[in-house]
Chains A and B, each alone.
Chain A
Amino acid sequence: MGKIVPIKTQRAEADKLAAAISEIDGVEAEVAERVSGTNPRPVVLGNSSPESWRTLAEKLHSEHGVDYCSMVTGVHWPEGDEDKKWEIVYHLMRTGIRNPPIEDGLVQPVIVDPSTVRGSGTPLELELHVYLPETRTPSVDSVQDIWVGADWNEKETWDLVGIDFDGHQGMRRVLQPHETPKGFHPLQKQHHLRYHDFQDMYDDSQGFMRKPADAGKIK
């Protein structure tokens, strides 16, 4: 039988981590359950105020062994509550990976037996939300220097959603052209998808003269 991490171990570790980070000011965390297909899995689900996010990130990395930043997502909520107009979701993970030891000049691969993982070696999944109030220049502290994996994630979030990251070195457009107008971030909700008439494709193959078929109909 294939070995997987027992859900009990993961659940217990998640409870511990959630309790530990809840003690930081401005942070609330609990353990939620997500279901993938038929398997339930525990996730540490937390909220952090923008001021305490940097402290939380440092503590997670140095004290709780959260060593991997999976994804940074920005969401624009123009119709949301007054203090929740922008949301940043961090998906972090604890992998428990260490460099394999070297014995007699040979690397000894680390073969973790998933059914016997304990303590800080248990893989964990975290989902942390940071909400920002109504503002035209949303920004939150960068964690680029803690997890280098967050570097391009933050660049992408600024490029597409327009949320800036304080202290981020070398911010630039990554997916859109470099000459994209300043302040244009397509995943903000004031930009709507527009559709073109198929005939336009033949009259004007490059699309320079094209007007959206729904021009004037949308705000």
Chain B
Amino acid sequence: MKDSRPAVATPPEITDLTPDGVVIGRSRQEPELFAVLFRRHAAGIGRYAARRLGPGLAEDIVAETFLAAFRHRDRYDVTRQDARPWLYGIAGNLIRRQYRDEARQLRALARTGIDPVAESFTDRADARLAADATSRAVAAAIASLDPGQRDVVLLIAWAELTYDQVAEALGVPDGTVRSRMSRARARLRTALAGVDPRNVADDKEHPRG
């Protein structure tokens, strides 16, 4: 007997080149596809969160970010190909709830030269590394930023998002990102005036060359 049902088109296979928006759109009917998004972006978000708060909290933030994203995936505009701004925005809001801890740790680094975030990567008490004077000054300067400015600076400097992507991540207009960045840079410039970059270890290079 001939099957009278209409033929159903097989959706294209998800590959490394499939845009995030397509993956998220498909995951609304095929939830397991959301794991693709995790494999693509969890490490980057984890590293960003770890730089801000340390590895322990970073693991929680990665978990909560992807759980929230999965639960709210129907909100995502699937025409946006790159989901990083969305995911960093969620992660950033979770990080901001720890802003008191973050500021405390930055000030601890500035005062003592011992970075609680770096320390938390090791269990060995004798593995403490004294930070150089530049790192201490930079930590103090970042700690002096208000939470909104700190988000903009670190999303650009550490997560390597563009201004447009930061605006999307924070849900604010481009102009707000630019004005926050401008004010933050002015404050950083003042705070870091006189810092001798030769104190920075020679093997450090700008990640973008």
Task: Decide if A and B are genuine partners.
Answer: no
